[in-house]
Structure 1
Amino acid sequence: MTTSAADTAATTTAEPKLRLEGVRRAFSVRGRKGAESTLTALEDVTLDIAAGEFLTLVGPSGCGKSTLLDLLGGLAAPSAGRILLDGEPVTGPGLDRGLVFQQYALLPWRTAQGNIEFGLEAKGLPRRERAERAREYLALVGLDGFADRYPHELSGGMKQRVAIARSLAFDPEVLLMDEPFAALDAQTRESLQEELLSIQQRTGKTVLFITHGIDEAVYLGRRVAVMTSRPGRIKSVIDIDLDRSAEEDLRSTPAFAHYRHLVWRELHDEVAQAQRSELARPAPASAEEADHG
């Protein structure tokens, strides 16, 4: 089933874990001749995410997906609207949200276990408890035996597993993921997708996963939210009803192809519009304008 943006706030009967209400984000940018103008990255973004839900978010390049994740993580504030977690406004970063980015952001001078313990230190956990929990989450992501390895001794997939374990270890309410598998090869990416689904099912975490890939969005998400070209809005939300218990390859089933086509159809015109806008737009005069374009 596909729902319009106007219906997304009513998709769950219970109080949502995460709620976005009319979120807008605009930036002041300086043009080539020094004149300032306003760049609107997001406009009237409204979306509910239920507790324990795995929701994926897709949209054309430059539509504000990463900007939205920054707002959800409390790394920036909306220009208008509000973001609620368990009914309380998000006003800044917090341990109730775990973030995983495409870049692993591991501390090179710390081992895999030490990187996971780093987040636990902020919670004031005793050293022994930190070590036990770090080992527990290393096992959860399939890295038993790699506790003493440094980042340069790990593959890309292993580094991302450590990053996921680090975010899970301090027990956040919500896991926010910004294209975490984009830099990995196809085989490793599919392996980590399966691992992530297994982890989410075991932990019951609420996950918002941003991706450019339609296949990835359909494979992971129980719902897929599609964004418009900039300024980004929620165009539609598609319910994904796949039999994930079947032994056959889910990606090769007719049902998977059906949902992939639904998402592609919603996204196709937005990608074309984004490309037309990019061609018509002057080259950015500042790094900030380029980042949010």
Structure 2
Amino acid sequence: MSSSIVFENVTKTFPSREGEELTALRDVGLEIAPGEFTVVVGPSGCGKSTLLDLLAGLATPSSGRVLVDGVPVLGPGLDRGVVFQQYALLPWRDARGNVEFGLEAKGVPRRERRERAQEYLELVGLTGFGDRYPHELSGGMRQRVAIARSLAFDPDVLLMDEPFAALDAQTRDLLQEELLRIWERTGKTVVFITHGIDEAVYLGQRVAVLTSRPGRIKEVIDVGLGDRRTGDVRSSPEFAQLRHRIWEQLQDEVRQAAREGEEAVARV
């Protein structure tokens, strides 16, 4: 199963130390089709993680609505699995036990939990590592466990907040390929946050570019590279054109943010 996602004129504000409101996102409108892999990029501090928190139900909009299959998001739910940059594994549980954790909360019987945990460890390429504890696993392996844990309770939507940012380049490329394979096999709706333009183009069917804060949707770009796991897609002219297009969009926002910062300093 996969689900549609809609952001309807979503604004999110936070109180600041000065007693004024800080607007992280303003009037965000975005539609994501069931089974689509959408990547969100934007300048630092533009509200990318806030957008994902709203979708996960970890925060509520100040105005507007976030809908999953037409139902407003009012809090966390088992229809959405989240993978963060930090692995957040339980150190006292082995890999299999970590994957089983969400299934326990769902009330899945013990034998079925074990079978399903084993299935998803195999899916992420960790056959034979179920009895290893987090400190016995590499960073890439720990992130695979985190992905398996999020997939095991069969969410309709997979939310990923810069999950590969802390990994070395070789491991990151490997896990990007692995994630595409998992997505193609499971058909989940995926929303993926990243700072990396290459990662965005390689993974996404569409790339949503946010403006500098307050974040708004500047452009949604269709990628259309076909099967990215055949041949060296990253060296193709199409890849380079898409990368440059997104880079130009982001550079415009960085320059605008810098100008606004200089003007704010001049007014003080």
Same fold, TM-score > 0.5, yes or no: yes
User: Retained in 2: the 8 A contact 1:218–1:256?
Assistant: yes
| Superposition pairs of residues 1-293 of structure 1, within 5 angstroms | 17-31=4-18, 36-244=19-227, 247-277=230-260
- Structure 2 partner of 1:286: none
Write the distance in 2 (CA, Å) between the matches of 1:278 and 1:199: 42
Write the distance in 2 (CA, Å) between the matches of 1:199 and 1:46: 28
Write the distance in 1 (CA, Å) between the matches of 2:229 and 2:203: 15
- Relative distance call for 1:212 and 1:246 in structure 2 (3 A) is closer
User: Retained in 1: the 8 A contact 2:96–2:130?
Assistant: yes
Write the distance in 1 (CA, Å) between the matches of 2:261 and 2:87: 29
- Relative distance call for 1:122 and 1:275 in structure 2 (3 A) is farther
Please give the root-mean-square deviation of Cα atoms over the aligned residues, in Å: 1.4
User: Retained in 2: the 8 A contact 1:59–1:229?
Assistant: yes
Write the distance in 1 (CA, Å) between the matches of 2:141 and 2:260: 38
Write the distance in 2 (CA, Å) between the matches of 1:279 and 1:87: 43
Unaligned residue ranges in structure 1 (runs of 5+):
1-15, 283-293
User: Retained in 1: the 8 A contact 2:98–2:149?
Assistant: yes
Q: Percent identity?
A: 71
The one-letter amino acid paired with 2:174 is S
Write the distance in 1 (CA, Å) between the matches of 2:156 and 2:246: 28
The number of equivalent residue pairs is 263
C-alpha displacement of 1:142: 0.1
Write the distance in 2 (CA, Å) between the matches of 1:164 and 1:281: 42
User: Retained in 1: the 8 A contact 2:177–2:229?
Assistant: no
Write the distance in 2 (CA, Å) between the matches of 1:204 and 1:71: 22
For residues 244-271 of structure 1, the C-alpha deviation after alignment (integer angstroms, 9 at most, x for no partner) is 2673201001111011111112211112
Write the distance in 2 (CA, Å) between the matches of 1:214 and 1:193: 13
The one-letter amino acid paired with 1:27 is F
C-alpha displacement of 1:274: 3.0
C-alpha displacement of 1:277: 4.5
The one-letter amino acid paired with 2:180 is L
**What is the TM-score when the length of structure 1 is the normalising length?**
0.87
SS state of the match for residue 24, structure 1? strand
C-alpha displacement of 1:243: 3.2
C-alpha displacement of 1:30: 1.8
For residues 93-145 of structure 1, the C-alpha deviation after alignment (integer angstroms, 9 at most, x for no partner) is 00000000000000000000000000101110000000000000000000000
User: Retained in 2: the 8 A contact 1:223–1:239?
Assistant: yes
**What is the TM-score when the length of structure 2 is the normalising length?**
0.95
Write the distance in 1 (CA, Å) between the matches of 2:111 and 2:261: 53
- Structure 2 partner of 1:291: none
- Relative distance call for 1:277 and 1:182 in structure 2 (3 A) is farther
Write the distance in 2 (CA, Å) between the matches of 1:232 and 1:248: 35
User: Retained in 2: the 8 A contact 1:26–1:79?
Assistant: yes
For residues 180-228 of structure 1, the C-alpha deviation after alignment (integer angstroms, 9 at most, x for no partner) is 0000000000000000000000000000000000000000000000000
User: Retained in 1: the 8 A contact 2:7–2:66?
Assistant: yes
